[in-house]
Chains A and B, each alone.
Chain A
């Protein structure tokens, strides 16, 4: 798994996004033990304090939890994971809608375009 960081955005925020995607997509499964902060820092090529800050934030969002001695794990709480998927879906729809609105499509046209695109997929 390769990490890419964009300029000018705090790295801990980009780590949170990447880890969130990995959890949402199942790259890290519910209940799976995460690598240590040191190993994740090395994999991503980032400062360990920055990685630690991102992990603390993921814990605050309840996407991961730590067990005092055995490490850090992905949440198994289905309601948290469901909420995460909904949140991500909203974000992607917002991005899509912003782009399509920019090229002059109305809400109805967007809905119609999505319907016909789904038809084609089938």
Chain B
């Protein structure tokens, strides 16, 4: 049984089909890039995987369970915008995560927060946009989860932090976890990926190992993306 099994998944909003009969099977021990332009359905798919949206049709199974309370224990989710209470300080957020998630490794989070020079006593609302993003990522990556759903984890940070985040994802790699990175910053992440999923207008148009793409096309994933999604 794959870690994530999606069959015939469709999500309709009024006047818009965000996801259209998506079939996708993702195994543990992989870092997968969910790649598509803005509005292609990446975030909708991630929200369904996280139980924040309900499918219009089709099935989604994580660890053989429908998204809900059971899967939230196993899924570490980094949303594309801040969902944490901004009046809290870093220390308070560490407490919050420790209370909420059994698999939260506080020492690991504290080490990452120290590495990135984030203040522990500052309220989140007083932090810069980039620092907020870094802090959220520290909290999410410090969970020892089965699935990590990272929606644009490197979108708003500088190149040095981008490297740190990618190294964190690599060092956090384990054979039992599945990491999904949704992004359109492909050249930054492509060397880190096992499999690549291209999503276009709500459909999966390609699902292949990144190395196979390089081998077959003689192109980088970034180059292939620019061809498939040429405007």
| A and B together in one complex | yes
Query: Which of A5, A41, A47 has the most chain B CB atoms inside 10 A of its CB?
Result: A47
A97 nearest CB across to chain B (Å):
25
Do A49 and B220 have beta carbons less than 8 Å apart?
Answer: no
Do A45 and B211 have beta carbons less than 8 Å apart?
Answer: no
Number of residues of chain B lying within 8 A (CB) of chain A: 23
Describe B's contact surface by its main secondary structure.
helix
CA A80 to CA B82, docked complex, whole Å: 55
Do B166 and A38 have beta carbons less than 8 Å apart?
Answer: no
Asked if B99 CB lies within 8 Å of chain A CBs, one says no
Contacts of B217 in A (CB 8 A): 8
CA A8 to CA B226, docked complex, whole Å: 14
CA A51 to CA B47, docked complex, whole Å: 32
Q: Which residue of A lies closest to B212 (CB)?
A: A10
Contacts of A49 in B (CB 8 A): 29-30, 194
- Contacts A8-B218, A10-B215 given: A45-B223 contact, CB under 8 Å? no
27 A-B pairs in the complex with CB atoms less than 8 angstroms apart: A7-B219, A7-B223, A8-B218, A8-B219, A8-B220, A8-B223, A9-B214, A9-B218, A10-B214, A10-B215, A11-B210, A11-B214, A12-B211, A41-B170, A42-B170, A42-B171, A45-B166, A45-B170, A45-B191, A45-B192, A46-B191, A47-B31, A47-B191, A48-B170, A48-B173, A50-B194, A50-B211
B positions within 8 Å CB-CB of A: 29-31, 163, 166-167, 170-171, 173, 191-194, 210-211, 214-215, 217-220, 222-223
